[in-house]
Structure 1
Amino acid sequence: MSDRIVRFRRIQLAEYTDIGARLLIACYRPPPWNEEWSPKLAMQRLNELSSTPSCLSIGAFHENSLVGFAAGVPHTGAQGTSLYLSEIVVEPQFQNAGVGASLLLSFERLAKELGYESIWLVTARAESTIRFYYNRQYQEPETLLVLARTI
């Protein structure tokens, strides 16, 4: 990966939904997620995000091709305004080379410039994802619990 220069910049996610959907499918297929996204649902996911007011998106580019992105939406609560990091994906061949970490750092810097006070996210309960975020000072709040129910 050392010969691959990756640059990061703010993007309008709506302009990249096709390639973004392909990245999302490729990134969530292998462990630890093991998710089988259809192209239709991946496009729907990105359209939902990109149509959310104040959606913040950063793209990772190699030779003008999108190889990853991070997207978040505002969340205002009693503690102030934070960003919910809805998606962060990196093309598999660019993973484990610092691209994801740099993408996350770029996202954090832009969020701070825009006045956000914190970032929160939900991720797979797997050693690799937990380690990735813990190594970047993300913590599991003692007061919060993520719950889900199939209806």
Structure 2
Amino acid sequence: MPEEIQTFTTEHLDKCAHLYVEVFNSEPWNEQWTFETARTRLFEIINTPGFVGFVFKQGELLGFVAGYGKQGQRSKGFYLEEICIQPHKQHQGIGTKLLNQLMDTLTAMKVTTIYLLTNKDGQAEAFYTKHGYQRSQDMIFMAKRF
């Protein structure tokens, strides 16, 4: 079956939400997403100003990437919110193809920096490191639970 990368639209929302639940409720994340909460999260992301996202299909939807751009004081940045690949299709180049499509699009938009959050010391960090991402020396992620 031929591969195709399409722009992520609301037409893809339900399938992407199902995939999101499948991926993030499994190892190594072991989260507790429902279809409804995953769909709401993705709906919010695709409705953020500056949204850019793509889906990867090969007969069926196998993965997606999504985030949004923001203007900074001197340049545009991009917040990579999600990349999600069917577990049995990981390590086959789909994530790389989605990142390449994203990079081509962001380059044309004159984006100069991509930001993301991921678990440290795991497969996701290794994937991003392989693609030239590195831990920030300038910024930290902080949280307050209440």
**TM-score, normalized by length of structure 2?**
0.92
Deviations 1:4-63 (A, max 9, x none): 643223232x22111010011011122221111011110110110111122101110112
Is residue 40 from structure 1 mapped to residue 36 from structure 2 by the alignment? yes
Summarize the Cα distance change of 1:33–1:79 in structure 2 as closer, same or farther, 3 Å threshold.
farther
Distance 2:25 2:121 in 1: 15
Give the aligned partner of residue 30 of structure 1: 26
Give the CA deviation at 1:83: 0.8
* Partners of 1:6 and 1:99 within 8 A in 2: no
Contact 1:32 1:126 in 2 (8 A): no
Asked if 1:53 corresponds to 2:49, the answer is yes
Counterpart residue identity of residue 36, structure 2: K
1:92 corresponding residue in structure 2: 87
Q: Does 1:75 align with 2:70?
A: yes
Q: Is the 8 A contact 1:73 1:84 kept in 2?
A: yes
The structure 1 segments of at least 4 consecutive aligned residues displaced by more than 4 Å after TM superposition are none
Tell me, which stretches of 5 or more residues in structure 2 are unaligned? Answer: none
Q: 1: CA distance between counterparts of 2:6 and 2:91? A: 20
Question: How many percent of aligned residue pairs carry the same amino acid?
Answer: 27
Partner of 1:122 in structure 2? 117
Cα distance in 1 for partners of 2:100, 2:106 equals: 10
- What are the Cα deviations for residues 98-149 of structure 1, in whole angstroms up to 9, with x where unaligned? 1111111111111111221121110112321111111110011101000112
RMSD: 1.5
CA contact (8 A) 1:108 1:119 kept: no
Instruction: Name the count of aligned residue pairs.
Output: 146
Partner SS, residue 118 of structure 1: strand
Query: Where does structure 1 lack aligned partners over 5 or more consecutive residues?
Result: none
Provide the rounded CA distance (Å) in 1 between the counterparts of 2:14 and 2:101: 23
